[in-house]
């Protein structure tokens, strides 16, 4: 019996993914060095003709049909290289290795080139949606050799999430295109998470909202234009009682956010490309500030903070909804702008509409808004920035006023809204036909003869100041 699909790494994600493959009519074989994980999968899979597994690499490889399609769901980093090294001597030319983890995109390019020399195809393929997504339908972002993708396509299309029947997976581009897109997905994820947490904070501090009211508000919002996975789970989180003590769980959770690096990579690479993504940058910074808990506790008592003047609840709820909608749009705009630029820089030939399309279901940043974003990029494939789309002008214009009101209210009352204010500032700067950077050019020329261009004449100028 030759199995259709192989999977290395039978942790929660791997086990769920392989069961999903089997549910969709493909036979699958798993591999993990941990005997317990192998037996657990065999037990859960039920019929070993459909799902089987082994701790032995050769048994695993020999069980697969040709060309072999082997997905790795192992932690990003050196482990990916060592798993690949273990597989290489057992594979045949034309076999396919798919890295489903959050590998750094330059690692993917290196592995792609290395394996291409051996005639093996390599796919860096982001998978989003957490454990539940892996089991029931994730959004999958594959990049690699286009012809080889034809072998993977039927399986990925079957197991992926569906949006109105359409699979949330598509071939995205060569080399590390898939990993790059997943990295920016995570950057946007960081931005949206920061924004939802800021709005939670301001509703509590500016409107004395209880967790029960917050739960209701987020759940109401999730039924409207803010519909999204992150708003939905925020509503659920705010409704969760603590199992270990009295009260609500959210209040007991330490306010130090961890990170595994993908948001930071998005920001770092955006800097390299020269593309501004301040809503994502500040989301990374806020995780870093959150980690400085001990210093924050000391600093808290050193400075006075304004006493918060409460805002009328109805008004606060209206402007927070509008501000959150506005800043979600700005965050997607920045991430997609980065993708459009990276596509040129790295030759990915990305189709932004396709990316927005496969993000409409399954992934962590899925949201009602993505259907509108897909349409905007379908209408204009070359759209450099969502803010230039005619279909977004009204959405942004009608909500930016509330963003202004909320940012000024928060500033006066000493409540940090960095994601929202960075989104607003980005908007104000991006939509300004003249910025004061003429002065920076003059300063550069003044102290370092760095030259400047003029608004009224062609050429490069220098002045003896
Ligand atoms: C997804 C997520 C996932 C990521 C987590 C944790 O799309 O399913 O992006 O890939 O690992 O969100 O990321 P941090 O630990 O950096 O918050």
Rounded to the nearest angstrom, the distance between the alpha carbon of 368 and the centre of ligand 1 is: 20
Q: What percent of the chain has pLDDT over 70?
A: 100
Q: Considering the domain delimited by 5-175, tell me its CATH architecture.
A: 3-Layer(aba) Sandwich (3.40)
Ligand 1 atom at minimum distance from 262 CA: 16
Which residue spans of the chain are classified as CATH 3.40.50.720? 5-175
CA gyration radius for the chain? Answer: 25
Whether 132 lines ligand 1, by a CB cut-off of 6 Å, is no
- Looking at domain 182-430, which of 1.20.950.20, 3.50.50.60, 1.10.1040.10, 3.40.50.300 is its CATH number? 1.10.1040.10
Rounded to the nearest angstrom, the distance between the alpha carbon of 332 and the centre of ligand 1 is: 17
- Domain 436-465: assigned CATH number: 1.20.5.320
Q: Whose CA is nearest to atom 14 of ligand 1?
A: 259
Interhelix angle 313-346/262-273, nearest 10 degrees: 60
Rounded to the nearest angstrom, the distance between the alpha carbon of 95 and the centre of ligand 1 is: 29
| Probe target for ligand 1 pocket from 260, 290, 367, with the most ligand atoms within 8 Å of CB | 260
Residues in binding site: 102, 128-130, 185-186, 190, 260, 287, 444, 450
Contact at 8 Å (CB) between 41 and 10?
yes
Rounded to the nearest angstrom, the distance between the alpha carbon of 135 and the centre of ligand 1 is: 16
Q: Whose CA is nearest to atom 2 of ligand 1?
A: 128
Whether 259 lines ligand 1, by a CB cut-off of 6 Å, is yes
Whether 189 lines ligand 1, by a CB cut-off of 6 Å, is yes
Which residue spans of the chain are classified as CATH 1.10.1040.10? 182-430
Task: Check residue 101 and give its pLDDT.
Answer: 97
- The residues that are catalytic are 182, 189
Whether 262 lines ligand 1, by a CB cut-off of 6 Å, is yes
Whether 260 lines ligand 1, by a CB cut-off of 6 Å, is yes
Whether 102 lines ligand 1, by a CB cut-off of 6 Å, is yes
Q: What's the pLDDT tens digit per position in 213-251? A: 999 999 999 999 999 999 999 999 999 999 999 999 999
Task: Check residue 145 and give its pLDDT.
Answer: 95
Between the alpha carbon of residue 190 and those of residues 233, 331, 402, the distances in Å are 15, 10, 22
Q: Whose CA is nearest to atom 1 of ligand 1?
A: 128
- pLDDT surpassing 80 at residue 1: no
Whether 128 lines ligand 1, by a CB cut-off of 6 Å, is yes
| Segment 91-108 mean pLDDT | 98
- pLDDT surpassing 90 at residue 75: yes
Q: What's the pLDDT tens digit per position in 292-316? A: 999 999 999 999 999 999 999 999 9
| Segment 133-147 mean pLDDT | 97
Rounded to the nearest angstrom, the distance between the alpha carbon of 364 and the centre of ligand 1 is: 8
Task: Check residue 210 and give its pLDDT.
Answer: 98
Task: Check residue 72 and give its pLDDT.
Answer: 98
What rounded mean pLDDT belongs to the chain? Answer: 98
Which residue spans of the chain are classified as CATH 1.20.5.320? 436-465
């Amino acid at each position: 019996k030759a199995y259709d699909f192989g999977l290395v790494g039978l942790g929660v994600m791997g086990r769920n993914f392989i069961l999903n493959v089997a549910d969709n009519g493909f036979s699958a074989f798993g591999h993990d060095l941990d005997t317990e994980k192998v037996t657990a999968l065999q037990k859960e899979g039920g019929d070993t003709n459909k799902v089987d597994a082994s701790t032995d690499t050769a048994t695993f490889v020999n069980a697969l049909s040709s060309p072999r399609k082997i997905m790795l769901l192992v932690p990003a980093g050196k482990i990916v290289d060592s798993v690949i090294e273990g597989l290489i001597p057992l594979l045949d030319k034309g076999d396919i290795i798919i890295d489903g983890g959050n590998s750094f995109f330059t690692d993917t390019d290196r592995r792609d080139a290395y394996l291409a020399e051996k005639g093996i195809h390599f796919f860096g393929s982001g998978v989003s949606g957490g454990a539940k997504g892996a089991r029931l339908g994730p959004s999958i972002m594959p990049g690699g050799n286009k012809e080889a993708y034809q072998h993977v396509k039927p399986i990925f299309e079957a197991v992926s999430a569906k949006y109105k029947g359409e699979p949330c997976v598509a071939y995205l581009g060569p080399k590390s295109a898939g990993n790059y897109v997943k990295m920016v997905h995570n950057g946007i994820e960081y931005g949206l998470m920061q924004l939802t947490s800021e709005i939670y904070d301001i509703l509590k501090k500016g409107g004395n909202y209880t967790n029960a009211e917050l739960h209701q508000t987020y759940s109401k919002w999730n039924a409207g234009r803010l519909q999204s996975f992150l708003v939905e789970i925020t509503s659920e989180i705010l409704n969760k009682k603590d199992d270990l003590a009295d009260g609500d769980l959210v209040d007991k959770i330490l306010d130090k956010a961890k990170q595994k690096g993908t948001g930071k990579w998005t920001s770092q690479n955006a800097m390299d490309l020269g593309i501004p993504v301040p809503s994502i940058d500040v989301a990374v910074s806020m995780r870093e500030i959150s980690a400085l808990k001990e210093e924050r506790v000391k600093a808290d008592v050193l400075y006075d903070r304004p006493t918060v003047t409460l805002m009328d609840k109805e008004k606060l709820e209206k402007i927070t909804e509008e501000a959150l909608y506005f800043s979600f749009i700005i965050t997607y705009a920045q991430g997609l702008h980065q993708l459009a630029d990276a596509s040129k820089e790295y030759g990915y030939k990305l189709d932004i509409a396709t990316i927005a399309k496969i993000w409409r279901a399954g992934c962590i940043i899925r949201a009602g808004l993505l259907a509108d974003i897909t349409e905007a990029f379908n209408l204009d494939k070359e759209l450099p920035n969502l803010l230039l789309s005619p279909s977004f002008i009204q959405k942004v214009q009608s909500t930016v006023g509330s963003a202004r009101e909320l940012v000024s209210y928060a500033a006066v009352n000493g409540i940090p809204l960095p994601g929202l204010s960075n989104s607003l500032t980005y908007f104000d700067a991006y939509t300004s036909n003249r910025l004061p950077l003429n002065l920076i050019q003059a300063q550069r020329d003044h102290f370092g003869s760095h030259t400047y261009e003029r608004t009224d004449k062609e050429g490069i100028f220098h002045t003896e100041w």
